Structure 1
Amino acid sequence: MDNETPIVSTDEMLTYLNLDNTPENNEVVGGLVNDAEAYINSTFNSENLSASELAKDRVYVSAVKALAGFMFYDRTLSQGVPIGIQQRITLLKGRYDRWQDDKNGK
């Protein structure tokens, strides 16, 4: 998947976290969204999925928002990835890893 344009915008994430739109918040939150997308994409076979396909997936979008939000308050993930986010990732693994096999005729 092309990871240049985040699926969750910085403005959307600022609203989600109820933060002011400042240059500092934009930089931090934008980086966290990119990190959250990269982390989640690394957990399943996302290389052949387009951003538009993932943007339509409510589980994917909610996982990115939840992980980016969690990382805003715990940048080191000192408690690990919360179970609710892990559950979303498990759903995505099942959905897209299987989808890739189906698409490839397996």
Structure 2
Amino acid sequence: MDQDEELFLAELDYFPMLLKAIDEQAYLKRKIDILIESICVLLYDNTFQSEEYTDEENEQRQRIAEEVRPELIKRKDKIIKAEGYIRDYVKEFVFPQIGIASNTRY
């Protein structure tokens, strides 16, 4: 479904391609917003350690978060412009990590 595009794209395998498309503004603004949200979801999904994962899996998730976070920080201006399209639960955990104060009440 269109409403879940960002969830399907939120994979490390797509990460370089997503960054390139965002930086080159290769698509319409709404599609770029979806790509931005998908990277935010990728960070969200890999941010916190969970007991449902093994120690190895949590370490891998932490490495992914450490790779994604600086790339989002570099693109804060674009993320701020796309804020209205990013789900509140994602903003609640991702924005503080990348130094963005959200105007949305969680």
Higher relative contact order (CA 8 A, sep 6+): 1
Larger Rg belongs to: 1
> TM-score higher than 0.5 here?
no
Q: Structure 2-normalised TM-score? A: 0.29
Q: Structure 1-normalised TM-score? A: 0.29
